[in-house]
Each structure stands twice: as C-alpha cells, then as structure tokens.
Amino acid sequence: MSKQPIGIFDSGVGGLSIWKEITTLLPHEDAIYLADSAHAPYGKKSADEIVRLCKKNTELLLEKGCKLIVVACNTATTNAIDILRKSYPVSFIGIEPAIKPASLQTKTNTIGVLATKGTLNSNLFSKTSSLHNKDIQIIEQDGEGLVPLIEKGAINSPDMEELLEKYLSPMLDKNVDCLVLGCSHYPFLIPQIEKITKGTIHIIDSGKAVARQTNAILAKQKILNIDTTSSSKHYIYTNAGQETVYYFTKDVNRNISIDHLDF
C-alpha cells in the first residue's frame, strides 16, 4: 500500500497550490489530482450538491487505488469532510481557513478572511471563527468572481486587479494586518495581493500545514513510500480545458501526465 498514490481533488486548478506543497515535502510519493473545473466554483453551490461532487471525486480516486485523499478545497472541506470520513475507508485530510495562526500573529487584533461564500456560510467555519473572535475582529470577504478568473488563467488581468482592489481596500481601511486565504485558488494571487497592500498585510495560507499533516498521517499509518530509487509520477486529470493546468504546473520539475477525463 505504501507505493499507492496520494489522491487530491479540488473544484478546479486551485488545489494545485496544495499539490505543489505536498509533492515538495514528499518527493517520492506518487499523486493523482482531480481538477473538477467543469463544476467550479463550489462556493456558490448548495451543501447537498457539494457533498455529491465530493463523493464522486472520492470514488474516482479510490477506483484509481489512492491510499489517502486530500480535500484540497476549503468549501469542500467545510461542507463535506465529516460525511466523507464516515462513508469511505481511507483517511481524509482537509483544508480550512487558518484563523488560529492569524489570530496569534496579528498586532492590530484585526484579521481578514478572503474566502468563497460556501466556506464563509459553513458550520465548520462558523465554529472555527467563534473560537477566536472574542479578542480578535474578523473581517470576512466573499471573493466572488476570483475563482472563475483563476480558472481562465486571468491572473494578471484588469478584471482581477479591479476585484482585488474592491475586496482588499475595506480591509486596509479597517486596519487588518493578517489576511487568511480561505480558498486554495487564492495563493496564486499572492503577488497581486502584495502589490495592492504594499506589503502591509501578512498573508497566510494553509498549503504547508496540509503537506505536513499529510506526511504525519502517512507516517502514522506506516504507508509512506520509502522507495527512493525511482522518480515519482503525477497524474492530473481535468474535466475542462487543459490550458490552465499547464499554466499552473509549467514551473514544476515533476514527472507529470495531464489528461482530460469526463467525471
């Protein structure tokens, strides 16, 4: 089982930011990534629809022999991971907004959370926020429109700049000094965010923490791949156009196969 791949899925290409962190920390692990771009974004869907899509993705990864599944989507994690853990016989690792690290690092006692509507409205997000909002002011912002632009590869477009200005300016006005990226798509926007905020906001995402947790669970279950004699293989499947996948993986030195798959 140790040589079986890690499974990762997201509502599109955003989870490739998580995939990069996992494969950097665990260079000998094979991975299968599902980019469910045909159904992106998950953030505006109902909880029932999100659960249905997550089950579909999970079952496809299990059919391909994955030993562990990373839900590399904040909306999917906050709405479906408890159900997935009860329904399938593998371990799941989720991703949720890093409110705790932000609350520990803020100097102004005001943090911002940029996330999708589906994440901000979830019970898990509400529960997490309530643990840290007694002494900390949390400014929530729905990043509507950001994911579709990222899915098109329009990272540096005027539309992207306009949306980010619209979402970040009120946070700056309220003295936010830590910004939590509550969607796995958003780390691809860090250069633009830093430009707009002029380096005055500490940006926090969960990628490295998810990679460390993946390593810890594999080690605990004794299913880490300890074979260092062969290079790892990575299979990325998308049910939409492949151009954006190529765009976000072009800088990665991995043995990667990118294919279209209807799912």
Can you tell me the distance from the alpha carbon of 77 to that of 97, in angstroms, rounded to the nearest whole number?
10
**Tell me, what's the pLDDT at 228?**
83
**Tell me, what's the pLDDT at 198?**
93
Whether residues 138 and 71 share a domain: the answer is no
Model pTM? 0.92
Can you tell me the distance from the alpha carbon of 92 to that of 155, in angstroms, rounded to the nearest whole number?
30
**Tell me, what's the pLDDT at 261?**
96
**Tell me, what's the pLDDT at 83?**
98
Q: Whole domain around residue 226: which residue ranges?
A: 6-95+207-260
Q: In what order do the strands lie in the sheet with 178-182?
A: 137-142, 110-115, 178-182, 202-204
Which of the residues in the chain have pLDDT under 50?
none
Residue 243: inside a domain: yes
**Tell me, what's the pLDDT at 122?**
85
**CB-hemisphere CA count at 13 Å for 114?**
32
**Tell me, what's the pLDDT at 126?**
84
Whether residues 164 and 218 share a domain: the answer is no
Whether residues 192 and 215 share a domain: the answer is no
Q: Which of 175, 204, 233 is the last residue of a domain?
A: 204
List b or e across 49-81, with b for residues whose CB sees 16 or more CB atoms inside 10 angstroms. ebbebbeebbebbeeeebbbbbbbbbbbbbbbb
**Tell me, what's the pLDDT at 123?**
82
Whether residues 40 and 66 share a domain: the answer is yes
Total domains in the chain come to 2
Neighbour tally for 182: CB within 10 Å: 30
CATH number for the domain spanning 21: value is 3.40.50.1860
Q: Which of 189, 204, 219 is the last residue of a domain?
A: 204
Whether residues 28 and 107 share a domain: the answer is no
HEC profile for 110-171? EEEEEECHHHHCCHHHHHHHHCCCCCCEEEEEECCCHHHHHHCCCCCCHHHHHHHHHHHHHH
**Which residues form the catalytic set?**
73, 183
**Tell me, what's the pLDDT at 227?**
87
Can you tell me the distance from the alpha carbon of 107 to that of 231, in angstroms, rounded to the nearest whole number?
44
Q: Which of 186, 204, 222 is the last residue of a domain?
A: 204
